[in-house]
Amino acid sequence: MPPATADKTMEKLVSLAKRRGFVFQSSEIYGGLGSVWDYGPLGVELKKNIKERWWRSMVHERHDIEGLDAAILMHPKVWEASGHVSGFTDPLVDCKQCKNRFRADDPKIKGTPGQPDAQCPVCGSKGTLTAPRQFNLMFKTFMGPVEEQASVVYLRPETAQGIYVNYLNVQQSSRQKIPFGIAQIGKAFRNEITPGNFIFRTREFEQMEMQFFVKPGTETEWFETWRTERMNWVKALGIREEKLRWHQHGPDELAHYAKDAYDIQYEFPFGWQEFEGIHNRTDFDLTNHQQHAGKKLEYLDPKTNEKFIPYVVETSAGADRTTLVVLCDAYKEEEVGGEEAAEGGDTRVVLKLKPSLAPLKAAVFPLVNKDGMPEVAHKIHDDLRRHFNVFYDDGGSIGRRYRRQDEAGTPYGITIDGQSTQDQTVTVRDRDTLKQDRVATAQLVAYLTQKLAG
């Protein structure tokens, strides 16, 4: 897709996200905070549905994975042992002229930073870019009242470390045997130098991570198993398969902890990018924690009496990036004809979200605000909301109301018309096919339950 179109698609998506209450810029009334976003009423539901789906498939449906919710703040030695203090860095260059900062590998920089030929991509000055310096991406803060080096703590840059330091607590309390996993969903923070593309790369984000502890020598097999499992999970979100691909990390891309890594990439409007990674982390993390903490982190195999430090296969997905994948994949602009065009105009913007992921499952509309229709509609709304997240809308023409719900991705529109007050039936409009079924009010819960499964 040419860049101009790509920019427009993202612009349109960001604007829809604000208009319909999916995502707002953080602290917008103060001019916003760089690359930090807030989820509105529909966004919080969509992201929650994705996280719940992940939790269900990774924890509830498996006998060999336990859940955990570790704290964001951890002992600072954790990040020395994990290699993040020394190795979680990006090379950074400064422009001495305009004082802007860039990643040294920013494709907009012409020439070699530190050399006279290098040109600043913002002010255009030549020879003003410094040689690259390593910049740590962890946010620092202070614990307790004294702001000194000894009280520095970090906001976690990945949730994984909370799992490693608890792995024996979880294993022993849940009586799991290797191979087994620990799953966690939670916030992570990175002081990214070049964040951007809406919720794609932000400084505060949520991860859905699972660490699978295996016997050394079996990690390659488990790595392949988890690659298959995770791709199947992503496809089941309803993402178009031609927009998904694998990318294996080359030696210069591998994180400091990984021996092998594959990303699941999606073709965003701004190009192919990762939104989940499967990593073979070997015994790197546990060995380092054992050394730094001076505590044995070996597993005792109850059958063979063997002691060993397990190897770890990690699946690491971003909840926000997965939400962006789902939004990008669902966004459509369509021509419509017939009655729909007459009522709401001949083009529509629609989010074709998988119904089980949609924030609102149905919207209830009295055709007009008289003749007993609002009373019937309120009763239906009250009954339905005990089962699903549903919305009541009596504002404006029915065509406009349909269009608002199309943009919200609401799969079903329930209209109460003159006939409804006579025979206790309603029309149910399908967001994608635009077909309308006449359904008995008493059957609505069963009708929607069947449609929303999956």
407 lies in the site for ligand GAP, by CB under 6 A: no
Q: Given the rule CB under 6 A, which of 197-205, 228-236, 245-253, 396-404 is the region that contacts ligand GAP?
A: 197-205
Alpha-carbon span 117 to 125, nearest angstrom: 10
CA distance 380 to 254: 55
**Tokens of residue 126, six digits:** 């030549």
Q: In angstroms, rounded to a whole number, what is the distance separating the alpha carbons of residues 352 and 329?
A: 8
Binding part of the chain for ligand GAP, among 244-252, 271-279, 391-399, 402-410 by CB under 6 A, reads 271-279
Q: Name the residue nearer to ligand GAP (CB basis): 36 or 439.
A: 36
Report the nearest approach of ligand GAP to the CB of residue 451 (Å): 30
Q: Interface residues for ligand GAP in 112-171 (CB under 6 A)?
A: 158, 160
* Spatial distance between the Cα atoms of 282 and 286, rounded to a whole number of angstroms: 9
Choosing from 186, 310, 318, 344, the residue that interacts with ligand GAP (CB under 6 A) is: 318
Cα–Cα distances (Å) from 30 to 23, 26, 142, 178, in that order, read 17, 9, 26, 51
Distance CA 78, CA 292 (A): 8
Of 45, 66, 94, 274, which lies in the binding site for ligand GAP, with binding defined by CB under 6 A? 274
| Residue 364 C-beta: closest distance to ligand GAP, Å | 36
Stretch that binds ligand GAP, among 270-278, 352-360, 433-441, 442-450 (CB under 6 A): 270-278
Q: How many residues bind ligand GAP (CB under 6 A)?
A: 19
We find the least distance from the C-beta atom of residue 72 to ligand GAP, in angstroms, to be 14
Is residue 316 a contact residue for ligand GAP (CB under 6 A)?
Answer: yes
204: β partners: 189
According to CB under 6 A, which residues from 227 to 256 bind ligand GAP? none
214 binding ligand GAP? (CB under 6 A): no
Strands (E), 95-243: 101-103, 133-136, 140-142, 152-154, 180-189, 204-214
Residue 268 sits in the site that holds ligand GAP (CB under 6 A): no
Do the Cβ atoms of 97 and 128 come closer than 8 Å? yes
By CB under 6 A, residue 266 contacts ligand GAP: no
Nearer to ligand GAP, 207 or 415 (CB): 207
Residue showing tokens 């330091």: 165
Do 205 and 319 contact (CB within 8 A), yes or no? yes
| Helix residue spans in 385-434 (DSSP H) | 398-408, 418-423
Which one of the spans 42-50, 97-105, 275-283, 393-401 is the region binding ligand GAP (CB under 6 A)? Answer: 275-283
Q: How far is the CB of 433 from ligand GAP (least distance, A)?
A: 33
Alpha-carbon distance of 279 to 274, in angstroms, equals 13
Nearer to ligand GAP, 112 or 194 (CB): 194
| Nearest CA-CA partner of 210 in 51, 420, 13 | 51
Question: Measured from the CB atom, is 247 or 378 closer to ligand GAP?
Answer: 247
Q: Which residue in 209, 219, 340, 407 binds ligand GAP (CB under 6 A)? A: 209
Under the criterion CB under 6 A, does residue 285 sit at the interface with ligand GAP? no
Q: Which stretch binds ligand GAP (CB under 6 A): 58-66, 201-209, 376-384, 441-449?
A: 201-209
The one-letter code for the residue type at 63 is H
Do residues 321 and 275 make contact, with C-beta atoms less than 8 angstroms apart?
yes
What is the Cα–Cα distance from 159 to 70, expressed in whole angstroms? 8
Q: Contact with ligand GAP (CB under 6 A): which of 94, 276, 285, 407?
A: 276
The residue sitting closest to ligand GAP, measured at its beta carbon, is 318
Residue appearing with tokens 């206790």? 424
- Amino acid letter, residue 334: E
168/155 Cα distance (integer angstroms): 23
- Is 283 a binder of ligand GAP (CB under 6 A)? no
H-type helices in 91-166, by residue range? 160-164
321 binds ligand GAP (CB under 6 A): yes
Which stretches of the chain bind ligand GAP, using CB under 6 A? 158, 160, 190, 192, 201-202, 205, 207, 209, 274-277, 314, 316-318, 320-321
